[in-house]
Structure formats: structure tokens, C-alpha cells
Amino acid sequence: MDKSPDAFRTISEVAEALDLPQHVLRFWETRFSQIKPLKRGGGRRYYRPADVDLLKGIRQLLYEQGYTIKGAQRLLKENGIAFVIALGNGDIAAIDAITQKKKAEEEAENTPLPAKPQQSKGLFSFMKSDSDAEVGGSSIGKGKDNKTLLQEALFELIECKRVLDRAR
């Protein structure tokens, strides 16, 4: 009788399915912290379907694409488990989607924040009096760097949360 696709697999079943010796799977557990089979009494390992998919991806990286263990670790760290699982399953659409998302995140990190308009007095400007709007004769926002502007925005968000919590 065959197991269901969601059933846990023993190390011998996984080793046979991936055409690898069992000791290689045990070794990979020491090198890839993402591989976490369930261990029962006596140290017997049971691999979840996600663990098996991850092992397929690692096998693909090491044996098919020629990555070193360090290279595969770096790829796992940079792109995540979902990327390596998709690679192991041959899911090109998922690989492309993950890669595009990663590029978009990197571009967002490298894009400078737009400067705060000079005339803006912040999120809570409607609550401030005109005397609060100017400090030392200069308007808020003049000559402030991005870090200061971000700190002010954070303060305003915290203040907003406080007002919302009070309303509850």
C-alpha cells in the first residue's frame, strides 16, 4: 500500500526517492539548518513533505547545478526555502515569481525616500497651533535629513496608535 502524499517519510524512503545514501541526508542536516526532520525515540527520523521538497532542491543545487555546500547555503539564505523547493520541483513560474519579488525588494531598499515637502507640518498638523508649527523661526522640515524625517514619522505613527487605543 502506498503512502499518501502528506505522509511522513523515513530516512530510508527519502534516500531511495532521492537516490542518495542515508548518510548524505544526515550530513546535510548538519550543514543546512533548514532541514529539520521530526525525530522520535531512538533517533529515528521522519521527514515531512516540505522537508523532502527542500532536500530535492538542495540535491538539485549540489548535484545538478554544481553548487558547493557554501554556495547552496548562501542561495538558501538569500532567496529562502520557497525558492529552493521550487527549484527542486522544477517550478519555473514560482522561481520567476520569487526572483521578481526579491528584485523588487532590493530596489525598494536602494530607492531613497522622497523628501518631505517643506510646507508639510506632519500627520498631526491639524492638531497643532500655528506657534507649534515653527521652531526658532524656521519651518519644520527645513534642513532635516532623512533619518530625522523618519524618526518624526515614526513618532507620529506612535501618537496615532495612542489616539486610536484611547478611542477604543
Q: What is the pLDDT along the chain (168 residues), one digit of tens a residue?
A: 577 878 899 999 999 999 999 999 999 999 999 999 998 888 899 999 999 999 999 998 899 888 899 999 998 888 888 888 888 888 777 777 777 777 777 777 777 766 555 554 555 454 444 544 444 444 444 556 777 777 777 667 777 777 777 777
Q: Specify whether the backbone of 128 is left (phi greater than 0), alpha (psi in -120 to 50) or beta.
A: beta
H/E stretch holding 19: none
Give the neighbor-by-neighbor strand order of the sheet with 38-39. Answer: 9-10, 45-47, 38-39
Does this model's pTM top 0.75? My answer is no
Cell reading at 148: 530625522
What the chain holds in terms of domains, given with CATH numbers, is: 1-108 (1.10.1660.10)
